[in-house]
Chain A
């Protein structure tokens, strides 16, 4: 690991100022991703500002919804009574990710900022436009079984790894951010992460030095009918091949509103808007779930090794909607 200056912040404003003033400085919270990347020489900060002691750990009701402190641990968030009761989809998604040890360390803000696990990104001997713009994409015509089927570009076919964010996308969360000028800004979740386009080195629309302070969830009526399905190569502690966050609000036996977001398929959480639209006003039947899933997945553009993700995604959407609809899991 390369040498870096270390300091522990006790004031958010001050932390933002320090990092903003140094392009090669980074925040450190749980450290579960950045330390790994520093050991791999992928991340090379010359200064780390430990923000984990900042007073941004509260989980509390606001405006009928819920505010999750950016520095609350993933474990504490997944187990919070208000999250479990009103946003079980979020609990399930967090619990589907990583291991207990890592969830005990990882923070909510840090979870959003996880970087891709694309092996070409991790291996500094390989070309990667995300790690080193202009070097090319090793995965585009390489081993791309784990890679994107939606929204990729010639520059980058990596997928975004977080489970938590897939639920947050489905739940229309917003991200509160503190900027260098002392101002706060609010970013709707759909605009937080980016598609790769010509600038895959940018994962999010955060500016350098901006600090996530909280994630806010609006009130909803999905709690009793939601489910997070994660399909992976082994039963636990693996990244998703495909994951599906599904939530339904019913009006009698008709679907009033559906929310579906997919993980493991794109450079950001992929809201299945086409499928959602298809379901409104329909009954919650397997046939309707299937046509909704197909409407979404027919837009997929798989790569050489991940064609299976199209069928897996279709079946995953149907399965997740069935589980959500039954209400058995929540």
Chain B
């Protein structure tokens, strides 16, 4: 069974078609990168996979671990092991990171029939991941993403990924707004999580993140469709020659 299989996906926002017959299959243990110019539909793809209500799927199917993803609510997708790192993580005033992450992790555990983590167990796990992602210790008591720099917000996304340990992680433009040190930390976090059982979809405009996280496949998304597929070397070619 494929980890995820996207078949002939058509999608629109506010009646405007964005994706026009996209096909993509990812198996466990694989890293795929989707690259493409602005407006090609890269972020639309990420948001549809996570279940954003503003996007309307007009045609096509998505199967995630054998389940019909399009029938699942966003929280059910998370429970099933899908994670999307937001391009623009939202700031939520008054809700602490710690509270949010503990509720989220325990909701995911509950859906899989696992016991919730106690405060102490969660604290320990969070601390470990915070060290890994080089996140400041005051982070856990602060409101979600409030007052975080762009780089901190992205590190927070990867920290969540490390915490939830999803089967499929989608990184939507995670490299945008990251300086080179932050990029190394993010890449190290991602690489540490890589194994034969999970898959990764990296959506990016530039090749630079792919210098740190080497993809098995690179796809070019243009005008709502995958127009080219190749190996890691395709990213270098695109960087040199552009998308045209």
Q: Do A and B come from one complex?
A: no
Q: Which residues of A contact B (CB under 8 A)?
A: none
